[in-house]
Structures are given as C-alpha cells and as structure tokens.
C-alpha cells in the first residue's frame, strides 16, 4: 500500500484527494463507511468531469477501492484500508497532505473513542495474537475456512519429515481410544509405534486369508492376540481396508489416505448440541421468530449425527459389543411453557433411535424471570449456574463424559466453553449469526444500547467462545471474511473498541485452521420438490392453497383481486434485518410488478401486541402502514399465522405449483435456512447479496442476487426474469431444476454430518499433539470471563431483580 499511497501524493491526483476529503467533510459526517465513500467519490468524479477510467483505474481510484472506513479529524484523516480479504491496515493522512503514515490498530481504536467523546488514557487491551503464534497458519486468504484440508496436508508433511516421531504420536492417539473403560483399536500388548506398525503387517496377512464377509466376531480373538481391539471393522474386508489405510499412511502419508483412515477411527460416541435460549421442542415452538431457524437446525443436525454415528459404529464392528451412540440437545427447561413441551426434562427426538432433548432449568434465584422464556439479549446472568447443573445431568445421561460438545449461537457457545473446559472435551462452535455486524456501530455506541441489548456481555462472550473452540463451523466463506467489498462476521471481531470498557487489538486469527465451512442441509422428508406428486397429500395441498390465496381470517391481510397472478413468496420473522417492510415497500412502489404478480408474506406475528420487543412491534406497525399507504390490499396476502413444518413445506410447493418465485430481501443474511427450503421445493430464488446467502445461490449471470438498498436495481432483475419466463415457458422449469439440484448436491445433512465428525476427529488428534499453546489461550480466556464477562452479566441480573 505504501507505493500506491506515494503515487497519489507525488502526482496530480494529490489535489483530487484533497478535494475528495473536502467533499467527504461536506457530508457533515466524521465517520464514513465504504458505500458512502464510494458514492461521494463517484459524485466528485462526475462534478469534476473526470474521465471514466479515473474512478476505477487511477491511483486514487485504487486507493479508494481499498478503503473501507474514513474518519475525518481536524488535523488528520484516517483510512482503514483492506488490501485483500482478511487483511486490514490503518493509515493517517496529515492535514498538510505531505505524508501518509501507517499506524497501529491501537491508534485507530483511540480515534474511534475520541469520535464519540469517550476516550480515556488507559484502557484494557485484549490481544489474542500471541496465543496463535507458533501454530500453523493458512497463508492464502482464498483457503480460509478449509482448516480440515490444511491440517491434513500439514500432518502428512510432518509424518514425512519425522516419520518415527509421528508414528509414536499416532500410536498414543489410538492407544487412548476407549469407551466407558473398554479399550478400542489397540491394547496394552503393543508398547510403541514401531510394534504397532509390525503388528499391522501381521494382521493384514491374517485377514486376507478370511472370506471378505466373515464377521469380525469370528476372528476377534486372533486379532487380540496381535494386540488389536474392536474398532477396525465389522467384517474381514472392512478390517483389512482399515489396516491397509493405516499401513499406507505410515509408508506414504497423503491427505486423502489420512482423511480416509481418520474417518474410520471410532472416537466419537456421545455428542452434545447446546442451544440454550430458544423454545427447543418438536411441536408448537418452531415458529417462534427469534429461534425458529436455530431450533430446526439443531433438531435436524441431531438426527443426522445420530444416524451417521450409528452407521460408523456398525461398520467399525462396535455394535456387536454393545456400543451405541447417543446425541443430546441441551437446552433450558421453561416452567411456564405456554402449552409446549418445553417443561419436560427429557424428550426423545422423532425419527431417531437414541437422540434426545435434555432440558435443565435455570436456578430459581429470580422466579418471575427464570420460570419464563428469556430473550437471547437477557439470558447472560443464568448461564454459568446452568452450565454447572447441565454438566452433572449430561454425565448422568451419558453415564460418562461426552466426546464432542457443539455450541449454537452466542449463549450456547459460552455454555459449551464452560462445560468443555471442565470436562476437557472437544469443543465445536457454530455461531449461526453474530449480532455485532448486524447492528451498525453497535460496539462504538454500546453504552447507548446496553439497557436494550446488553452487547457488552454478548460481544465478550463471542470473543471467549470463538477463541476457546477447537474448531469453528461456518455455513459460508463470507461468514468468516466477507467479500472484497464487505467485512465478514468473524472478521468484525478482529479489531474493535468498546469505549470505556476495552479495546480489542487482535480478537481472532482468521488464518487459523480452526475455521471450516460445513453448510447445513434441509430435511427432505418435509421439504421436497413440488413435482414429487407421489409424496404430496391432496387434502393438505388444497388446504394450503386456500390459505395462501383466498381464505378469510382475522390474522390475514389482503383479498387478492386476481389470485392467478404469479406469486412472489417471502417467509421470515418480522424484524429490521429481515426487511419484510422493505420488500413490501419495494412492491408497493412498482406498479408493473403489481400488475403481473401478487406478494405473499408468511410471518408468525401479525399485531404489535404479539411482539416480544419494541423493534418487532415497530416493524409490524410499519408493515400495516405500508400496505395502507400503497393500497396493496388487492395485491398482497400477509399471513400472520404460525404454520407447522409440514404445512410450511406444502406452502413452498403450492407457490411452485403456480410458477412463483421466492424473495429473501434481508439487509444481511448469514446463511438463510429458508433459501434451502424454497430451492429444494423448486422455487427460483432471489436473495440479498449481503452475507452468506449470496453463496447459497449460484448466480454467475448476476440475476438472483439482490441489493435491498437498491429498489430500482431489484425491480430490473425481477422483471427481467418474469420477461424471460413469459417469452420462454421452459425457463422457469430450467431454473427450478437447477436450484433443486444445487441443494441436493451441496446442502444435505449426510455430507454435513460426515464432514463435521471427520473434522472433530482430526482436531482431537491435533489437540493431543499440540496442547501447550491451547492451554495458555484458555487461561487467558478464563481471565476475560471472570474479570470482564461476569461483572457485565451481574449488572443484567441486578436489573432483573429490580423489575
């Protein structure tokens, strides 16, 4: 960047930079973000009659293209530059325009504090960078999120570089394997890696003489005489394949061989999925807007993991000795459960053999609060005692420790950290959606938002859990590091200020191999293509069609003048981020779209009285107002009705019957569960370009990615699609087929579970061989927990007691 900056300062473009800064200052803002900077620069180029290339290709144009923030002070202008994805640099331009100097992150954080008049000379600095030094790092930003592949290559390189040492490490890992005290894979007969390698050769010779389908039990004692225990396979052929994979790994270590061998190692039997704050149940609770996506995710993940574990254990030959997997979703028990099953301690998960929902109550220190549902923004004071009680309950249910704990969302990840730390269990973190990047400047103005959102507790909890986790699962690349034009969710935790509380100088190592992209799937028993007629119920189909298009109900707005028009379908909770009001207003402003389509909105709430917080109530009121203002009653159907998942699946298919489309118009979407549901149902799907949703939809021709802040551009894309459908009736079917195949090939729970379990096994091995750096980091995070997080949580508890 130094060369680019000097080019600007040493050329005629220096004057253009001065004029641009003057134009930025004329906006009346001191803190400008990327979109605002680009707009002001575009306006400057137009007013100054700059040639077309100047905006894109001049030295100043390149500099501005790398700029994500500008802060204007009296004596300085500060630039946050992003030369490439996941890399940020701070530069300061003096008022005399003579020099541009690179500054430290600490200097930028001080400037941000001064901007809001909350600067102080001494403040706590949080810096996690030293705890990642010495650990292997990914060097190419394009490979961020592919930690498993990186570690496979790294470990294989180590095996080649020092094979004797790493053979001993592999021996130690296999020797530790056991289930409730029962040794697996190898016994105490084998004393070293060298002995193991020799025994493997003998065992391969032994099983080659057996019929391929001969059950393991028939030659079990022959293998035990060589030092081998159950776990290598259920038949002679399976045992031979596993032994040969290990032999190849020692002789010629290659990533595919390591991955194939590790996938067969029986190391995980008991899994905990932590999802605390939501209404976690199977009936009557999935429609709660704040938790609907998360609940469906963990339920489907639990079923899929349990099924995969059963298959793996059977193939390993362990079911014959009485070993069976168990998966538990850990959540809170809600005494005042509002007619749901959320007051039941234990509930078996439908469609599973041994997967359960375990509900543990919060301590009754404040019954008016703890006996009711608690918002994700208010839950923080109760998590530590919950974790301690849940630990006891889990050990009792499993009759031993779990092997893997998966945290979900900020609160679930903090609980996962507390339990995993005490039990020394592999910890996986899944954020789903981090709140910090959703709310603009939420960290900078945290004190103004504290009573409503308690971000000081949440952002601290996020920092702790994402750094404590052995590995992090994201649904998309953008979730980690964004795009060239936008900062990723995890990247937003890299460097930020909480004025008068702390500065985060380096909050997360984005190049660490702990990050892995493992997208979720969709339940094809509930959500399947509209043209699978054999799986559809005629009566349910007729009922849903009437509900969507003609039924009169007190919870439905709109009486369509022409129900045969092509429907535009949207399913989302009503909140500012999901932007249903923006979609309705976009539709209301576009008369051509109204002439050709009807808009159908499906939410679970309809009146402000049903809202759980003021923001939700305001959005509901605004949606009613937009419908009235644009006189949409004959063009829109707004259903404030909570549908069962079965009916929701049929709703997608019913819209597809009518050759409709699905629009997800959120201002930001981390991933978008409804996108998968709509696409697998066969609906051509448009979605926001901001966030991971743009990765779900393959849009090489730039048709289906929408900018929700650009209603004119959105209208052009949707109308162009409709024109193509009218000109070529097969076009809708072509797109429908493509989106169905995309979900089936890339977003399915079988792939998800297979990959997640493989990652857990690799990282478990990694922790065995590199424990020292991790322990130092965990000690540091414990300090943050007790000295920063707990005082913030206790302040929330004090507020609750005063209610």
Residue % of the chain over a pLDDT of 90: 77
Asked if 233 and 209 touch (Cβ cutoff 8 Å), the reply is: no
Q: How far apart are CA 157 and CA 97, in angstroms?
A: 50
Q: How far apart are CA 701 and CA 598, in angstroms?
A: 26
Element (DSSP H or E) covering residue 503: strand 502-506
Element (DSSP H or E) covering residue 150: helix 147-161
Residue that has been written with the tokens 């966030």 in this structure = 691
Q: What is the CATH number of the domain that holds 644?
A: 3.40.50.2000
For 96, 327, 431, 654, the CA distances from 549, given in Å and listed in that order, are 66, 41, 37, 10
> CA angle 455-475-34, nearest 5°?
60
Asked if 663 and 568 touch (Cβ cutoff 8 Å), the reply is: yes
Residue 100's DSSP bridge partners are 93
Asked if 168 and 159 touch (Cβ cutoff 8 Å), the reply is: no
Measured over the CA atoms of residue 423, residue 428, residue 430 and residue 434, the dihedral's sign is positive
The answer as to whether 613 is a domain residue is yes
Q: How far apart are CA 673 and CA 696, in angstroms?
A: 10
pLDDT at 289: 60
pLDDT at 484: 86
Judgement on whether residues 277 and 394 belong to the same structural domain of the protein: yes
207 or 614: whose pLDDT is higher? 207
- Which DSSP string corresponds to 301-342? HHHHHHHHHHHHHHHTT-GGGT---EEEEEEEE-SS-TTSST
Q: Give the least confident one: 58-67, 517-526, 664-673.
A: 664-673
Q: How far apart are CA 755 and CA 761, in angstroms?
A: 10
Report whether pLDDT(287) > 60: no
For 223, 246, 424, 542, the CA distances from 239, given in Å and listed in that order, are 10, 11, 31, 53
Q: Burial-class residue 457 by CB neighbours within 10 Å (0-12, 13-18, 19+).
A: buried
In the structure encoding, which two tokens stand for residue 575, read together?
Answer: 């909140």
pLDDT at 403: 96
Judgement on whether residues 710 and 756 belong to the same structural domain of the protein: no
The answer as to whether 680 is a domain residue is yes
Judgement on whether residues 743 and 756 belong to the same structural domain of the protein: no
For strands 182-183 and 661-664, give the pairing.
unpaired
**What is the residue range of 22's domain?**
2-103
Q: Give the least confident one: 16-20, 166-170, 201-205, 694-698.
A: 694-698
pLDDT at 609: 85
Packed helices 409-423 and 455-468: angle between N→C axes, nearest 10 degrees: 50
The answer as to whether 548 is a domain residue is yes
Judgement on whether residues 677 and 730 belong to the same structural domain of the protein: yes
The answer as to whether 134 is a domain residue is no
The answer as to whether 359 is a domain residue is yes
- What pLDDT digit, counting tens, does each position of 377-399 carry? 999 999 999 999 999 999 999 99
Asked if 68 and 24 touch (Cβ cutoff 8 Å), the reply is: no
Which of 103, 127, 157 is at the close of a domain?
103
pLDDT at 241: 97
- What pLDDT digit, counting tens, does each position of 664-711 carry? 999 888 788 899 999 999 999 999 988 777 888 887 667 799 899 888
Judgement on whether residues 564 and 448 belong to the same structural domain of the protein: no
pLDDT at 158: 86
Per-residue confidence band for 443, with pLDDT thresholds at 50, 70 and 90: very high
- Buried-state track 424-449, b at ≥16 Cβ within 10 A, e below 16: ebbbbbbbbbbbbbbeeebbbebeeb
Per-residue confidence band for 796, with pLDDT thresholds at 50, 70 and 90: very high
Biggest CA pair distance of the chain: 87
Judgement on whether residues 86 and 164 belong to the same structural domain of the protein: no
Q: Burial-class residue 795 by CB neighbours within 10 Å (0-12, 13-18, 19+).
A: middle
Question: How far from the centroid of its chain's Cα atoms is residue 48's Cα?
Answer: 44
**Sheet strand arrangement including 67-72:** 31-33, 67-72, 76-84, 87-94, 100-103
pLDDT at 160: 87
Report whether pLDDT(57) > 70: yes
Instruction: Compute the average pLDDT of residues 13-34.
Output: 94
Among residues 426, 404, 462, which one has the least CA distance to residue 781?
462
Residue that has been written with the tokens 């099953």 in this structure = 341
SS3 453: helix
pLDDT at 768: 78
Asked if 196 and 227 touch (Cβ cutoff 8 Å), the reply is: yes
Beta strands in 210-365 (DSSP E): 270-274, 326-333, 346-348, 355-361
Among residues 717, 695, 558, which one has the least CA distance to residue 638?
558
The answer as to whether 601 is a domain residue is yes
- What pLDDT digit, counting tens, does each position of 545-603 carry? 999 999 999 899 999 999 999 999 999 888 888 999 999 999 999 999 999 999 999 99
Q: Give the least confident one: 359-363, 584-588, 769-773, 775-779.
A: 769-773
Judgement on whether residues 285 and 318 belong to the same structural domain of the protein: yes
Judgement on whether residues 508 and 562 belong to the same structural domain of the protein: no
Start-end of H helices in 10-99? 13-25, 34-47, 52-57, 59-66
Whole-prediction pTM value? Answer: 0.89
Judgement on whether residues 548 and 492 belong to the same structural domain of the protein: no
pLDDT at 6: 86
Among residues 618, 582, 576, 290, which one has the least CA distance to residue 439?
576
> CA angle 163-469-382, nearest 5°?
155
Task: Specify the number of domains making up the chain.
Answer: 4
Instruction: Compute the average pLDDT of residues 711-737.
Output: 92
pLDDT at 701: 67
Judgement on whether residues 757 and 712 belong to the same structural domain of the protein: no
Q: What is the CATH number of the domain that holds 40?
A: 3.10.450.330
- What pLDDT digit, counting tens, does each position of 291-342 carry? 767 888 899 999 999 999 999 999 999 998 999 999 999 999 999 998 889 9
Instruction: Compute the average pLDDT of residues 625-640.
Output: 94
Residue 516's DSSP bridge partners are 146, 473
Asked if 657 and 533 touch (Cβ cutoff 8 Å), the reply is: no
Instruction: Compute the average pLDDT of residues 486-491.
Output: 92
pLDDT at 670: 75
Q: How high does pLDDT run on average in the chain?
A: 92
The answer as to whether 325 is a domain residue is yes
Which of 731, 747, 763 is at the close of a domain?
747
Q: How far apart are CA 647 and CA 653, in angstroms?
A: 10
Judgement on whether residues 539 and 637 belong to the same structural domain of the protein: yes
Asked if 364 and 371 touch (Cβ cutoff 8 Å), the reply is: yes
Report whether pLDDT(174) > 70: yes
Q: Which residues contact 283 (CB under 8 A, 6 or more apart)?
A: 340, 341, 644
The answer as to whether 55 is a domain residue is yes
Report whether pLDDT(134) > 90: no
Measured over the CA atoms of residue 705, residue 707, residue 713 and residue 716, the dihedral's sign is positive
Residue that has been written with the tokens 């909350």 in this structure = 118
Q: How far apart are CA 259 and CA 249, in angstroms?
A: 10
Question: How far from the centroid of its chain's Cα atoms is residue 379's Cα?
Answer: 20
Start-end of H helices in 523-644? 538-549, 580-589, 591-596, 614-629
Judgement on whether residues 483 and 606 belong to the same structural domain of the protein: no
3-state secondary structure 674-703: HHHHHHHCCCCEEEECCECHHHHCCCCCCC
Report whether pLDDT(286) > 70: no
In the structure encoding, which two tokens stand for residue 182, read together?
Answer: 């029962």
SS3 714: helix
For strands 566-571 and 597-603, give the pairing.
parallel
Which of 103, 122, 139 is at the close of a domain?
103
Asked if 395 and 401 touch (Cβ cutoff 8 Å), the reply is: yes
């Amino acid at each position: 960047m130094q060369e680019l900056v000097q080019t600007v300062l040493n050329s005629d473009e220096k004057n253009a930079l001065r004029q641009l800064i003057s134009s930025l200052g004329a906006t009346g803002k001191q803190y400008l973000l990327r979109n605002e900077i680009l707009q002001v620069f575009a306006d400057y180029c137009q007013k100054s009659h700059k040639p077309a290339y100047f905006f894109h290709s001049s030295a100043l144009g390149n500099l501005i293209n790398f700029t994500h923030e500008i802060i204007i002070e009296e004596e300085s202008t500060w630039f946050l530059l992003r030369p490439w994805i996941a890399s940020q640099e701070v530069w300061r331009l003096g008022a005399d325009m003579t020099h541009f100097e690179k500054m430290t992150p600490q200097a930028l954080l001080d400037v941000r504090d001064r901007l809001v008049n909350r600067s102080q000379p001494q403040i706590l600095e949080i810096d996690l960078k030293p705890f990642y030094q010495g650990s292997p790092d990914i060097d190419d930003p394009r490979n961020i999120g592919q930690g498993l592949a990186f570690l496979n290559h790294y470990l294989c390189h180590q095996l080649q570089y020092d094979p004797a040492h790493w053979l001993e490490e592999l021996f130690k890992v296999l020797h530790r394997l056991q289930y409730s005290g029962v040794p697996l894979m190898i016994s105490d007969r084998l004393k070293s890696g060298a002995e193991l390698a020799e025994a493997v050769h003998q065992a391969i010779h032994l099983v080659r003489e057996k019929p391929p389908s001969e059950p393991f039990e028939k030659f079990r004692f022959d293998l035990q005489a060589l030092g081998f225990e159950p776990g290598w396979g259920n038949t002679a052929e399976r045992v031979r394949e596993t032994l040969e994979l290990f032999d190849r790994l020692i002789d010629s270590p290659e990533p595919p061989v390591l991955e194939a061998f590790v996938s067969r190692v029986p190391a995980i039997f008991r899994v905990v999925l932590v999802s605390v704050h939501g209404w976690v149940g199977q009936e009557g609770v999935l429609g709660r807007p704040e938790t609907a996506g998360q609940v469906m995710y963990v339920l489907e993940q639990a079923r899929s993991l349990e099924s995969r574990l059963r298959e793996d254990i059977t193939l390993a030959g362990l079911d014959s000795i009485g070993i069976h997997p168990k998966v538990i979703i850990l959540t809170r028990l809600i005494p005042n459960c509002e007619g749901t099953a959320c007051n039941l301690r234990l509930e078996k998960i439908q469609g599973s053999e041994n997967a359960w929902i375990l509900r543990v109550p919060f301590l009754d220190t404040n019954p008016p609060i703890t006996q009711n549902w608690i918002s994700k923004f208010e839950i923080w004071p109760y998590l530590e005692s919950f974790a301690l009680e849940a630990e006891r309950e889990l050990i009792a249910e499993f009759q031993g420790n779990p092997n893997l704990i998966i945290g979900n969302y900020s609160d679930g990840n903090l609980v996962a950290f507390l339990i995993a730390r005490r039990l020394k269990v592999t910890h996986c973190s899944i954020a789903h959606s981090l709140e910090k990047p959703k709310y603009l400047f939420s960290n900078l103005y945290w004190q103004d938002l504290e009573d409503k959102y308690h971000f000081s507790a949440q952002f601290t909890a996020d920092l702790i859990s994402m750094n404590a986790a052995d590995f992090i699962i994201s649904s998309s690349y953008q979730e980690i590091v964004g795009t060239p034009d936008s900062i990723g969710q995890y990247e937003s935790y890299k460097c930020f200020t909480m004025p008068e509380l702390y500065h985060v100088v380096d909050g997360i190592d984005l190049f660490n191999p702990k990050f892995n992209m493992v997208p979720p799937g969709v339940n094809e028993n509930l959500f399947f293509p509209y043209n699978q007629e054999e799986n559809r119920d005629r009566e349910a189909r007729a009922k849903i069609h009437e509900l969507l298009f003609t039924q009169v109900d007190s919870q439905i707005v709109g009486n369509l003048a022409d129900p045969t028009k092509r429907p535009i379908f949207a399913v989302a909770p009503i909140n500012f981020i999901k932007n249903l009001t923006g979609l309705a207003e976009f539709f209301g402003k576009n008369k051509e779209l109204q002439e050709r389509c009807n808009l159908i909105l499906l939410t679970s709430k309809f009146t402000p009285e049903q809202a759980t917080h003021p923001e939700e109530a305001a959005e509901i009121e605004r949606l009613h107002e937009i419908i009235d203002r644009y006189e949409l009653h004959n063009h829109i159907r707004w259903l404030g009705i909570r549908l069962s998942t079965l009916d929701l699946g049929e709703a997608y298919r019913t819209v597809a019957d009518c050759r409709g489309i699905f629009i997800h118009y959120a201002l930001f979407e981390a991933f978008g569960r409804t996108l998968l549901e709509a696409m697998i149902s066969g609906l051509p799907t448009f979605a926001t370009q901001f966030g991971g949703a743009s990765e779900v939809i393959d849009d090489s021709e730039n048709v289906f990615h929408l900018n929700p802040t650009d209603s004119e551009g959105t209208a052009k894309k949707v109308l162009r699609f409709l024109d193509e459908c009218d000109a070529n009736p097969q076009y809708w079917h072509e797109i429908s087929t493509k989106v169905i195949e995309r979900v089936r090939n890339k977003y399915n729970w079988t792939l998800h579970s297979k990959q997640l379990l493989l990652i857990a096994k690799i990282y478990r091995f990694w922790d065995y061989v590199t424990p020292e750096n991790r322990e130092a980091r965990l000690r540091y995070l414990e300090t943050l927990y007790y000295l920063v997080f707990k005082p913030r949580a206790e302040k929330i508890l004090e507020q609750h007691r005063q209610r």
